[in-house]
Amino acid sequence: MRDYDDRIDYDELYRDAAGSGGPPWEIGGPQPAFAPVLAGEVRGPRVLDLGCGTGELALALARRGFEVTGVDISQVAVGRARAKAAAEGLGVRFEARDATALSPQDGPFDSMFDSGLLHNLDRFGGAARYLALLPRLAAPGGALFLLAIAPEAEQGWGLSEGYLRAAFDAPLWTDTRVTPVDVAAHWDGRAHTLAGHLLRTVRAAA
């Protein structure tokens, strides 16, 4: 089974929102909360962007010289990401795939990014398969950086600090840190800021 909600057609969502700048999570660049990570915390060379959307974070990583793979369930989003990469001459590998169905053979990755995927998987019926897959994709000593909406955002859903710490606990993960951050979004023609969490963790050595 997929952990995505089959009631949502993400291709249609991207098409319908094209005239308004895209879905709420498409803000024209990486989430600001990732700025300190991008400035010096990324481990390379291989980096995976899970739920990459139209590729803004993946492209920012590629500009810094990393070997980046981005995956997203939406073929429309991936097509736009590929067009952006081609326009800049960046060799990012974008794939239209279900992130919960990746194979360990796709890795290992030295860093992985999740910019809002886990909270949607949890919101729509369970993220167990995804959480079980992540340590199998990461290289020993590889880093995971994850951004999630917090319950304090008052959207009727979100991931608490306790949830995140329990999901990325020993023995598979180590040095797990969760910090409160702002998550940027846009809808109704306006920019919004929502309460969120930034998780940093490291895949424990085998």
Token couple for 64: 């810094």
Q: Which of 18-22, 78-82, 97-101, 118-122 is predicted least confidently? A: 18-22
Give per-residue pLDDT as tens, 69-107.
999 999 999 999 999 999 999 999 999 999 999 999 999
Query: Cα dihedral sign for 167, 136, 81, 84?
Result: positive
Pure H helices in the chain: 10-16, 35-40, 56-63, 75-88, 117-123, 128-137, 161-167
pTM above 0.75? yes
In angstroms, the CA 136 to CA 84 distance is 30
pLDDT band at residue 144 under the 50/70/90 scheme: very high
User: Does residue 147 surpass a pLDDT of 60?
Assistant: yes
User: Does residue 131 surpass a pLDDT of 90?
Assistant: yes
Would you state the pLDDT for residue 5?
A: 47
Q: Measured between alpha carbons, how far is residue 179 from residues 32, 51, 80, 154, 205 in Å?
A: 14, 21, 32, 18, 24
In angstroms, the CA 63 to CA 72 distance is 20
For residue 168, give every residue at least 6 positions away whose Cβ sits within 8 Å of its Cβ, in sequence order, or none: 144, 146, 176, 199, 201
**SS3 label, residue 56:** helix
Kindly give the pairing relationship between strand 190-203 and strand 173-187.
antiparallel
